[in-house]
Amino acid sequence: MKPVLNALTLVAISAVLSGCGYLFGEDGYFRDRGSDYQSAVIEPRMTVPAELNSKPIGDLLPVPGQLGVANEGKFQLPRPQALNVGADFSEFSMQQNGGDRWLLAQRPPASLWPQVRQFLTEYQVPVAGESATLGEMETAWLAFDEDADNALMRRLLPAVGPNRRTDGQEQRFRIRVEPGVQSGSSEIRVLHMQRSRGSDRTEWPAASDNSNLERAVLAELETYLSQTGELDSAALSTVGDAPAARRSTLGQDGAGNPVLNIPSDFNRAWAAVGQALAKADIQVADINRSAGVYYVNPEQSAVEDDKPGFFGRLFGRDKAPEQEGAQRTQVRLTPVSNRVQVTVEDSIDTSTDSSQARELLRRIHDNLN
């Protein structure tokens, strides 16, 4: 019986090997057809009989007029040339979310701050006050009817609108340079305020009195910054004069639990925390955006989160039961007034250990800024 089995085994192996050659060999059915185009024959152009109407049809896949002699052997596909994307790339772009608009810059606030200051200086716009720590500067009160010779005033005047009067009115602007959501980016926001000449109104409004003027100043800033490029190192402010890059603050709530405060809206804070978790190499097991929760495993690296492949799933290789049932930590984002609070919890009703929560929030805070 054993010799018969050995003979059958040899026959099966021979059939398999010959079958592979038949299927995948040079003359097999599934052979490599990548070089077949080199032996293609150019057929004469199709002609339409004279009695029929036709429209000229261009070649969809034109063939070059001069073809080199095909090299013997397998054709080596050349590497593609690098794309030149620098010509169409812009460091500045206008952004809008509802009634909120800003100028997004792919530069850090420290390098952008002196350029915005130079913008006001070159256009001879007086600055009434500035705070490098807050990253904002306020212009003095401007009168379009009296400052008609100013180049910036002339360009801003059409944005006032046909139904708004400028005579007897004063305008001023507040320009703020803030760190963007992405690392190394900045956001420039403009707030416009108007009052009657001689009025004692001094408090800034929550939104611009004239959104058209706000948009016009942002457009002028975008044009100026795009044309001037970066200032040299001699023109940059010192580190102490640059706007503070850290907007988020790490503190504690009334119950003594650690909390991370982000002065931003929920959408932007959600994106920023997600990027910070990725930069901190913290594994995100699941998310619930409607509830504002990231489910994380602080002790496990995001790189180690490899799912089993086809054969691993086929033969039952999967995560250990103790990992499946492990408690996942919740990083919860809660909008509060004009900021978002980030807390760490074991569940919606239970806070995690204070020291562990503070350490996790510290890692997020460090990578958030």
Q: pTM for the complete prediction?
A: 0.51
- List beta partners, residue 173: 192
Sheet-wide strand order for 258-262: 249-252, 258-262, 339-345, 329-336, 293-297, 283-288
CATH number listed for the domain at residues 92-241: 3.30.310.170
* pLDDT one-digit tens code per residue, 98-143: 888 999 998 888 888 899 999 999 999 999 998 877 788 999 999 8
Task: Please tell me the distance from the alpha carbon of residue 35 to that of residue 227, in angstroms, as a whole number.
Answer: 49
Cα 367 to the center of its chain, rounded Å: 16
Structure-token pair, residue 116: 């915005």
Which residues are CB-contacts of 127 (< 8 A; sequence separation ≥ 6)?
A: 117, 120, 137, 138, 139, 140
Does 92-241 match 249-368 in CATH topology? yes
pLDDT of 320 reads 46
Residues 21, 28: contact at Cβ < 8 Å?
Answer: yes
Q: Which residues of the chain have pLDDT under 50?
A: 83-87, 232-240, 244-245, 319-325
Residues 204, 195: contact at Cβ < 8 Å?
Answer: no
pLDDT of 82 reads 52
Matching residue, tokens 């807050």: 134
pLDDT of 64 reads 61
pLDDT of 109 reads 86
Residues 158, 142: contact at Cβ < 8 Å?
Answer: no
Matching residue, tokens 């004063």: 170
Matching residue, tokens 């580190």: 239
Pick the CATH number of 249-368 from 3.40.50.880, 3.20.20.300, 3.30.310.170, 3.40.190.10: 3.30.310.170
Residues 171, 144: contact at Cβ < 8 Å?
Answer: yes
Nearest CA-CA partner of 211 in 101, 71, 112, 327: 101
Structure-token pair, residue 158: 């059409």
pLDDT of 242 reads 52
Sequence spans of domains, the chain: 92-241, 249-368
Residues 289, 267: contact at Cβ < 8 Å?
Answer: no
